[in-house]
Amino acid sequence: MVLPDSVALKGNFNMKRVFSKKQIVRRHPGNPVITPDMLPFNCRGVFNSSVVKHDGRYVMVLRCEGYNFYNFFVLAESANGIDGWKIGEIIPLPEDAEYKKYARVQYDPRITKVGDTYYVTYCAHSNEARMAMLSSKDMRQFRFEGFITGPGFRNTVLFPEKINDLFTALERPNALGEIWVTQSPDLKFWGNQRLLMTQHQCSFGWGKIGSCGTPIRTDHGWLIIFHAVSVVCDYEYIYNAGVALADLREPWKLIRVGDECILTPEMPYENMGHTPNCVFASSHVVEDDGSVKIYYGASDRYQCVAETTIADLLDVALNR
Ligand code: BMA
């Protein structure tokens, strides 16, 4: 339903807000699709994992949390991207003292294919979070590419193509809780940092925001799925997911932020667990027919999947 001008919502946006009962993101009825007991070793959580489609199969980099609370990555594969996940090997990471100084735990992988290479950006955390990167040509063997930020950064995710001849990524300076754009000629030296969006531009994420999976190119701009934290009484965090649009050529220019979140914790496995009230989307697979699988962690304990379409996500980003 489109509201008449007289009752159109006032706000920052030029567009009229459309109210609808249509559900944008549909949780898979088999959720959670991966649980800690499915792993071949003791694990208290498997969540915030990322998936790409490689050679017709869905390959997941699983974030696993052991009973020592350390986090590490394990590979998994599935034929349909929903169920039948076969758990594979642990991804080896550097063992040297310099790496371990910064990375007692590693978490929240995000995978982007640029050209013929997959890049896995992830948080390396010791006393502070900083971003590190792996690369792979086949999603079986991985090479450690080094740290790509200093301390105080999280949620770096690469765009799937160079923009103005530069690798481009979204990142979050932790102290600010905002999403920034950063660019690099070689994935080693980063600059051109510009603010894309603050948490105050998001009605359900005034605590902090951060990018989820790879930005999606559409005719309307880069479609960006992000997580957004609202803070309710007693400093309780609620992790939601939303969508925004950014300019295709100058991706630091925000076009619009969808006013409704696309996912908020509502199911028992999202409301209870290790971190209650948390849905943390960290990747998506866009299929040829325009359908989208969104992979998200629930309550820092389970791995889930939900389904939607590009058209519906754009509807939120543009109209709702
Ligand atoms: C964020 C990240 C996520 C986690 C979330 C909720 O800061 O660390 O990995 O899922 O908190 O605990």
Which tokens belong to 178? 């905002």
Closest ligand 1 atom, residue 297 Cα = 10
3-state helix, strand, coil in the chain (%, to 5): 10, 50, 40
Structure confidence by residue, pLDDT tens digits, 211-248: 999 999 999 999 999 999 999 887 789 999 999 999 99
Domains present along the chain, CATH in parentheses: 32-319 (2.115.10.20)
**Residue holding tokens 């765009």?**
159
Q: Looking at ligand 1, which atom is closest to the CA of residue 237?
A: 6
Nearest CA to ligand 1 atom 12: 275
Give the residue whose CA is nearest to atom 4 of ligand 1: 300
pTM of the model: 0.93
Atom of ligand 1 nearest to the CA of 278: 6
- Ligand 1 proximal residues by C-beta, below 6 Å: 48, 107-108, 239, 275, 278, 280, 297, 300
Task: Check if the beta carbon of residue 44 is closer than 8 Å to that of residue 300.
Answer: no
Q: Is the pLDDT of residue 8 over 90?
A: no
Predicted pLDDT at 19: 74
Q: 3-state DSSP call for residue 38?
A: helix
pLDDT band (50, 70, 90) for residue 3: very low
Atom of ligand 1 nearest to the CA of 63: 9
Q: For residue range 271-306, what is the model confidence (pLDDT) as tens digits?
A: 999 999 999 999 999 999 999 999 999 999 999 999
Residue with the smallest CA separation from ligand 1 atom 10 is 300
